[in-house]
Structure 1
């Protein structure tokens, strides 16, 4: 199910729902164990069960530039298959809004966790063969330094020649920037277009809007992630911006003040 697009900074931004469902039993835990340090007031008004919406974002402008932010969970045999509701529906979502895989000129991977990156490869070949895949250099180094692992073998290596590793903040196409936001992973990045910030997993659950210091169990560096989240939310709130989140029930979120 795609949502109606909204315009930010000259780009039409369309949220695309790759999948929806709870975490699989291999990593499912009660919410207070997944998100620690939250008070009862922080939890007030948040859902009792965490049903994840696995979301990607399509950016298009009047000059024909097509940018895809995150690529979802992939097929039934993807690295995400042990815990996420595969297969993902991203390619069908794109087709519904008139975009074929070959039309995508730039893919931005906010990070290389399996639910954000596995859809980059289908049956061992790049899903988006004409796209440069923008990833932070620190993220690539982290995965390559981790020894043999599914993301390295089944995502990064098939993308050889298509990866554009950047260091820190960069304008990837005119009007679209990435910024390094480490913590959830070492090379996590967000995408900024106009007043919209596409957050990847800097913010995973609404409780972290109520209290940015709340830690998440699957952050690589929970303390750094909290510091990054606090700084990002402070900056977005100061300029009255919006968030485009990866896992909230609705795609566009006003972070409030």
Structure 2
């Protein structure tokens, strides 16, 4: 589920050797994906909410409106059906769709966030994400500290660096990475840095650890911004 935006890849990614970049396009088609999970029991889980409607916090730079609600409808899921929304982090391209016209878009869902992420946004001073996403979700936010089960077979795990409270979602051998891994070149060389990581050194360490773990399990990642939704790691 998602949209895309084109930009020069080396504007925001740096480092690596010519060999690392061999075969990579100079243009980055930046996709914006959300994931719908249907646990065997309980209500559906939505991972991230995308760029949102015209006028959302992401609208200053992303190709709004997002198509999330239409894609959910095509899958036979109404906003009221969603039982849990996991926001990997509070950047506008991942969280803007949580609120529409000032009210929660998924009114029956608990919205799972790491405490470190909430603290970061609340202490950042006035900002669109705080004012137009987090505050309208008052009473619907479920704050967790570190790893936690959020639905049958679905867990979140703290994965900081891109933001202080960034989290990933684990469903068996599948890990939904949010912005831990942004571009396929970071699978070739995880030390390649992204300009919008708040703590680049921690982000690299988190990426290395996550990819090592998933590879060790023979698992798969689901990414927010890759050309393809899922990538097997070996």
- TM bin (shorter chain): over 0.9
Asked if 1:107 is matched to 2:94, the reply is no
Aligned twin of 2:25: 47
Q: Give the 5 Å matches for 1:174-193.
A: 174-193=152-171
Shift of 1:234: 0.3
The SS at the match of 1:138 is helix
Listed one character per residue, the Cα deviations across residues 145-186 of structure 1 (whole Å, up to 9, x for unaligned) are: 000000000000000000001000000112100000000000
Instruction: State the TM-score, normalizing by the size of structure 2.
Output: 0.98
Question: 2 CA distance for matches of 1:230 and 1:62?
Answer: 31
The runs of 5 or more residues in structure 2 that have no matched partner are: none
Verify: 1:95 aligned to 2:79, yes or no.
no
Structure 1 residue 64: deviation in Å?
4.0
Distance 2:232 2:65 in 1: 30
CA distance in 2, matches of 1:44, 1:246: 23
Q: Equivalent residue of 1:75, what SS?
A: coil
| Aligned counterpart for 1:208 among listed residues 186, 191, 202 | 186
Moved segments of 4+, more than 3 Å: none
**Alignment correspondent of 1:80:** 58
- C-alpha separation in 2, matches of 1:88 and 1:232: 29
User: Aligned residue for 1:21?
Assistant: 5
Cα distance in structure 2, aligned partners of 1:184 and 1:22: 21
Runs (5+) with no aligned partner, structure 1? 1-15, 24-29
In the alignment, the residues of structure 1 paired with residue 195 and residue 82 of structure 2 have an alpha-carbon distance, to the nearest angstrom, of: 34
Correspondence list, 1:132-151, <5 A: 132-151=110-129
The SS at the match of 1:58 is strand
Partner of 2:96: 118
* Secondary structure class of the residue paired with 1:22: strand
Counterpart-to-counterpart distance in 1, 2:26 and 2:15: 16
| Corresponding pairs, count | 234
Which of 206, 222, 227 is matched with 1:228 structurally?
206
Given candidates 12, 17, 34, the residue that maps to 1:56 is 34
